[in-house]
Amino acid sequence: MPQVFKPPVRPVALVAAAFAVATSLAAIAQAPGKDELWDVTMKMEMAGMPMAMPPRTNRVCVEKGNDEALVPKGRDNCVISNAKRTGNKYTFNVACTGKDPMSGSGEFTYSSDGYDGKMQMKGTAEGQPFDMMQTVTGKRVGTCTSTVKADVARANAQIAQGNQQVAEMCRQSLVSLNWQMYEPTGPCADKRADFCPAVSKVAATAREPAGYTAARKDTMLADAMGKCGQDFGAVTAAACAKGVETRDWAFVGSGSCDAEVRTAGEANCKGRSFTGMDRGVVPLCSRYASLVRGQPAATATAAPTPAKAPDPVQEGVNALKKLLPF
């Protein structure tokens, strides 16, 4: 049975990687001078391919005294070794690691206004071996003004700005206990160790009514405590107990302490006339009336504000009139 040729996967990507190596070598090997404009052409032939891929040309502006900054970044994981310049010849070895590892050697010959070179590269692409030869030709075509330094400075500034934005986002997420941002794939994953201690700190303040109210309003405390293996129910019970102890009936009647409402409501609301009731106890008794009538408990999320907000005291009075004997 005749053998069927199966070309390596993604040959174009390999060409791009090899081209990056070739043009990098061209920039490194040239002597310092005015900014110079070069046309760099590479042609690749791969063993087993019925025909060579068409030549590819890039125009490169070589900046005086800054050759290292001109190195194309197509493959950051390629290392050149055993580089040697003898007369007008430059020889080297190259090895690239990563997803498509490759290695090889090359030789460049330079003239006053150009160079020619060859590189032999072998490796694997997605598990398939390849063997390719690249020929590279560079020709000086004029002068230019390189923007590499400005481009690098701009890129570094953008990276720094991005890092600052991420840092601020993580800081705000730590304050709000936004656990999604600290998941293993989240933008704050590298600061994951800071999250649960921050949750514990907020949870400690939430054992008091004021701290609990602030935490429910401004943070994702319940979910965050669950993610950290902490008991949000215990925090709620402590805050509600403190609310009863301090007679903070506005907090107790807010919808988070219904067990305490039923107990405290029996003692402070049931059978009492509104005429002699302290206004401070109205939130408790209003909630108690709703519970004993079997109405659904109010949710912690505030409903949309109507054009004219109702008077909570009057609402409590209306509810009590339906329940209490007065």
Sheet containing 36-46: give its strands across.
56-62, 36-46, 128-143, 114-125, 102-111, 89-96, 78-86
**Is the pLDDT confidence value at 317 over 70?**
no
**Distance, CA of 76 to CA of 122 (rounded, Å):** 18
Q: Which residue has the higher pLDDT, 148 or 255?
A: 255
Question: What band does 70 get if pLDDT is binned at 50, 70 and 90?
Answer: very low
Neighbouring CB atoms inside 10 A of 6's CB total 8
114 with 138: CB under 8 angstroms? yes
**Is the pLDDT confidence value at 101 over 90?**
no
First-to-last C-alpha distance (Å) of the chain = 103
**Is the pLDDT confidence value at 9 over 60?**
no
Domain layout of the chain by residue ranges: 11-146, 249-297+312-326
Length of the chain: 326
Two structure tokens written together for 308:
């004219």
**Model pLDDT, residue 205:** 96
3-state secondary structure at position 3: coil
236 with 217: CB under 8 angstroms? no
State CA 162 to chain mean position distance.
11
**Distance, CA of 217 to CA of 231 (rounded, Å):** 19
3-state secondary structure at position 191: helix
Query: Torsion-angle region of residue 4: left (phi > 0), alpha (psi -120 to 50) or beta?
Result: beta
3-state secondary structure at position 246: coil
Neighbouring CB atoms inside 10 A of 119's CB total 22
Packing angle between helix 232-245 and helix 209-218, nearest 10 degrees?
140
**Model pLDDT, residue 30:** 43
Determine the residue type at 186: G
Average pLDDT over residues 50-61: 77
**Model pLDDT, residue 303:** 36
126-141 confidence digits (pLDDT tens): 778 888 888 888 888 8
DSSP 54: P
Packing angle between helix 312-323 and helix 282-292, nearest 10 degrees?
50
Least confident of 73-77, 247-251, 264-268: 73-77
**Is the pLDDT confidence value at 299 over 60?**
no
Residue closest to 68 by CA, chosen among 121, 146, 125, 160 = 146
**Is the pLDDT confidence value at 194 over 70?**
yes
198-224 confidence digits (pLDDT tens): 999 999 999 999 999 999 999 999 999
Query: Torsion-angle region of residue 247: left (phi > 0), alpha (psi -120 to 50) or beta?
Result: left
**Distance, CA of 170 to CA of 188 (rounded, Å):** 6
Q: Which residue has the higher pLDDT, 56 or 324?
A: 56
Query: Torsion-angle region of residue 45: left (phi > 0), alpha (psi -120 to 50) or beta?
Result: beta
Average pLDDT over residues 10-24: 46
Question: What band does 325 get if pLDDT is binned at 50, 70 and 90?
Answer: very low
**Is the pLDDT confidence value at 270 over 90?**
no
Domain 11-146 fold is Porin (2.40.160)
